[in-house]
Structure 1
Amino acid sequence: MNSIRQRLLFWQITALVITCVLVSALTYQLAWQAFNRERDFAMEQIAHSVVRHGVRPGSWASNPPAAPATADDLGRFISQIWSPDGEILYSSVNGTGPPLQQAGFHEVAWSGESWHVYTLVDPQQIVQVAKTSSDRASSFARLAPWVLVPSVLLVLVLSTLIHAAVSRALRPLDSLGRDIQRRDGNDLHPLPVQRLPRELAPLAMALNQLLGRVGELLTRQRQVLADAAHELNTPLAAVKLQAQLARRSEDGQRDAALDDLDKGIERSTHLVAQLLQMARLEPDVQQRHPRPLRCDQMAADVVGAFSARADARQIDLGLESSDAATVWMDAEDFRVLLDNLVDNALRHTPVGSRVDIRVRLAGERVTVTVNDNGPGIAQAERERVLQRFVRLNPQDTSGSGLGLAIARRIAERNGGGIELADSPCGGLSVSVHLPAHRGASAGDGQFTG
């Protein structure tokens, strides 16, 4: 039963039926007791009537009245008159009838049946009135249906009203569902919540928040695709032009043209790789496997991987004395973060510069810092360069404007952040702050590069 309407109707009507059954049983019991009291009162009135208006025993002592011809009809009231000393003087049936009882109401067995008996003691006579229990029950059985009819009508009427009330109460939910079904895939405007019932307003607001997040995601993806297409257009056009020039060049100039072609291909490859890295950072795109990572050891691996490239540009790339700090991250994410920081520093520092990596552990925070002595970035531009595809110098074709944006995204998704500052050696200092992981035995001390 997955329908809210069916559940509401089932439980409400079930509760109504159970209540009506209990009320009917109580009503039946109360009516039966009232019926018995009424019949007992009638028997009492008959006994008193006989005492007030009946013939005294002294007047028939020599000639008692005979029982009627229908005296064997046990379905009627039986009346008996006894003398004070217990002698039967009169009985409305052949024989004596039920045995004489003490004054008051009694239930006795006689002639194979149960009898209700009332006995009235008078100074001159004893009057006893009796009636069978089965006759009393059959009389009440003829009245009982009329006692239960109101409960049946109540169930029918209230079931109809409950069904109408539930359908009317759920009408806003049906309307909200139809509104959502009528929308196409591009209609992400918020749902109206002003006229919704209080119970539906949180659902509508949650859907509006979801629609807003989906809209932001689609907008961001469209922007990324547009920026990617724009960024790829320039290097691909340059590669095509350089290939044509290499084909037309003389033998002496062909090597230089091929070198330019290699540079264009390298830039395009680098841009595509960073676009793939940015795409993998989207939620649910790639499953991640976080584990304890030693930041100082990972930094040493990155220095080794970029050492040949740094040597080619005569850049002094090294790892400063660092703390043995551990973070809880996916290894690939952390490696991509470090690669982009070091790659960005090597691309934007001149030949013969210096790039240093340092890892520090302070309390619950690990800080990985990359310092260079290049031209640096003005403080007013530092927030902007953390956005995608932002290059402060459009004529600089060595970068794609994605390195710092990727590093920032990785840091934020792992509970950290990124900070740009002036380097002690005069260039740019990029610091990534991450939560420290204390679960692994990181070991104390320092790692010296």
Structure 2
Amino acid sequence: MNSIRSRLLLWQISALVLTSVVVGVLTFRLAWGGFNDVRDQGLEQIAQAVLRHDKTLNAGSANAAPKAPQDLSILEKKWFAEDRYLDQFVSQIWSNQGVLQYSSLPEVGPPMQPSGHHIVTWRGQSWRLYTLPQGDRLVQVAVTTHIRRQHFYELTTWLLIPLGVLVVVLGMLIHQAVLRSLRPLENMRRELGQRDVADLQAVSTTGLPAEIVPLAETLNQLLTRMDVLLAHQRQFLADAAHELNTPLAAIRLQAQLVRRTPEAERVAALDELDRGILRTSHLVSQLLQLARLEPDARRSEHAMVQLDALVREVVVSFAARAAEHRIDLGLTSADPACVRGDAQALRAMLDNLVDNALRYAGEGARVDLALRVEGHHAVVEVMDNGPGIAAADRERVQERFVRLDQGQSTGSGLGLAIVRSIADLHAAHFEITDAPSGGLLARIRFPMAADTPTPT
């Protein structure tokens, strides 16, 4: 499960457990060393006590025979009279010649060692001992390592209990800290989940942690874009319904007139009906093109497009229509140019440019297409010698459903809006200016692809 909460808990609790293990090992080693030091000091104190209280040693009799256990000093009898004290330590008194004179138990204990602390093996067991010389004798106190370890392990249990409690308490605190830290995200999720579909208000960033504020701001930007998008869609649907209402009503009226028209005039009425159907079909086609260019529409599949070939195809496809209206349609230049884009959208853009030029230039006019390469840009120009557009209206005419001449215009007011949308989609610059011949010049500047051949 890919969860931030689970990851945080896993990493933090794992780090806590690992740290506790390391601390436990270090504590064990330090405690074991300190325990041995304390017990070794205890051996020294016992050895000194035996020297102070042993009457035979104080008498200074160097040749006295070894005593039986019942002849030991009162201190030794008190400490070592019972076998159960074997698990504590064994005390011995040796002469300098290595003769055992006293022992807490007969024949029990490791052999005599030099002065100081030692670790020796005797009868298969490891012993820790301390030897203290005094005159012609020395006292040796020893204890088995096994017994010492048992005593230490009894203490270790009490050392581990606080560490275990610490791990449990810190684990619970970490769990609560993670839950509280992620609570703002949960609150944001709950707030967004309870919203209505049309509620695209910005999420409040008040009181949010600094790490979540950028996420909330980015989400607010997305909500703002969605709100603008939905507003555009609502406006588009309203405009489309309004624009379609007029031609459909006209077609319905023309159809009724055809039924009432005498046989001799019916052909002219049918021609008028055909023109109305053609205008409506053109409007629907442009509406569909504009709908495909909406930001939420299907993502365009950009590929390498040979722009010069596309320009030639457009000129050929409009040649018959230009000849019908006695318009001189030509291609003045077509430098090899390759751009990255959607071939279908680019073709629709060129079709709308040429269609607008043929529609508004007037009969007997001239319309020229040109494709030039300027540096790293491909420039497409559509120029006519028609009446043109006033400078004050050139920005407004690029908006949807804007027709400057409502009475004589047969267009839908969508052509240049489609051109501008497609140009924006391809990171191209679209502008309208005066043509040298006195008409209108529409220019689109495309960034060229890197593998475009240099024109000759």
What TM-score do the two structures reach when normalised by structure 2? 0.93
Corresponding position of 1:3: 3
Q: What secondary structure sits across from 2:106 in the alignment?
A: coil
Conservation of the 8 A alpha-carbon contact between 1:71 and 1:92: no
Aligned length, in residue pairs: 444
Q: Structure 1, unaligned stretches of length 5 or more?
A: none
1:142 matched to 2:154? The reply is yes
Moved more, 251-260 or 357-366: 251-260
State the distance in 1 between where 2:109 and 2:383 align: 122
Conservation of the 8 A alpha-carbon contact between 2:90 and 2:108: no
* Structure 1 counterpart of 2:203, from 178, 191, 195: 191
Deviations 1:21-54 (A, max 9, x none): 1111111111111111111101111111222332
Corresponding position of 1:121: 133
Name the % identity.
51
Deviations 1:370-420 (A, max 9, x none): 111111111111111111111112223410011111111111111102110
Conservation of the 8 A alpha-carbon contact between 1:44 and 1:118: yes
Corresponding position of 2:455: 444
Corresponding position of 1:421: 433
* Structure 1 counterpart of 2:324, from 312, 315, 319: 312
State the distance in 2 between where 1:326 and 1:89 align: 112
- How far residue 434 of structure 1 moved from its aligned partner, in angstroms, is 0.7
Corresponding position of 1:410: 422
Moved more, 303-312 or 183-192: 303-312
Q: How does 1:249-260 map to 2 (within 5 A)?
A: 249-260=261-272
State the distance in 1 between where 2:5 and 2:13 align: 12
Corresponding position of 2:338: 326
* Structure 2 counterpart of 1:79, from 91, 105, 108: 91
Assess, with a 3 A threshold, how the Cα gap between structure 1 residues 56 and 396 changes in structure 2: closer, same or farther: farther
Corresponding position of 1:281: 293
Q: What secondary structure sits across from 1:13 in the alignment?
A: helix
Moved more, 284-293 or 168-177: 284-293
Conservation of the 8 A alpha-carbon contact between 2:62 and 2:95: no
Deviations 1:165-215 (A, max 9, x none): 111111111111111001011000100012211111111111111111111
State the distance in 2 between where 1:2 and 1:242 align: 65
Corresponding position of 1:247: 259
Conservation of the 8 A alpha-carbon contact between 1:307 and 1:317: yes
* Structure 2 counterpart of 1:228, from 240, 254, 266: 240
Corresponding position of 2:36: 36
Moved more, 96-105 or 278-287: 278-287
State the distance in 2 between where 1:164 and 1:289 align: 49
Corresponding position of 2:225: 213
Q: What secondary structure sits across from 2:318 in the alignment?
A: helix
Conservation of the 8 A alpha-carbon contact between 1:20 and 1:151: yes
Corresponding position of 2:74: none
CA RMSD, Structure 1 to Structure 2 (Å): 1.9
* Structure 2 counterpart of 1:180, from 172, 192, 207: 192
State the distance in 2 between where 1:63 and 1:142 align: 41
Q: What secondary structure sits across from 2:6 in the alignment?
A: helix
State the distance in 1 between where 2:287 and 2:193 align: 35
Conservation of the 8 A alpha-carbon contact between 1:119 and 1:127: yes
State the distance in 1 between where 2:346 and 2:162 align: 77
Conservation of the 8 A alpha-carbon contact between 1:71 and 1:94: no
Q: What secondary structure sits across from 1:6 in the alignment?
A: helix
Conservation of the 8 A alpha-carbon contact between 2:240 and 2:287: yes
* Structure 1 counterpart of 2:179, from 154, 160, 167: 167
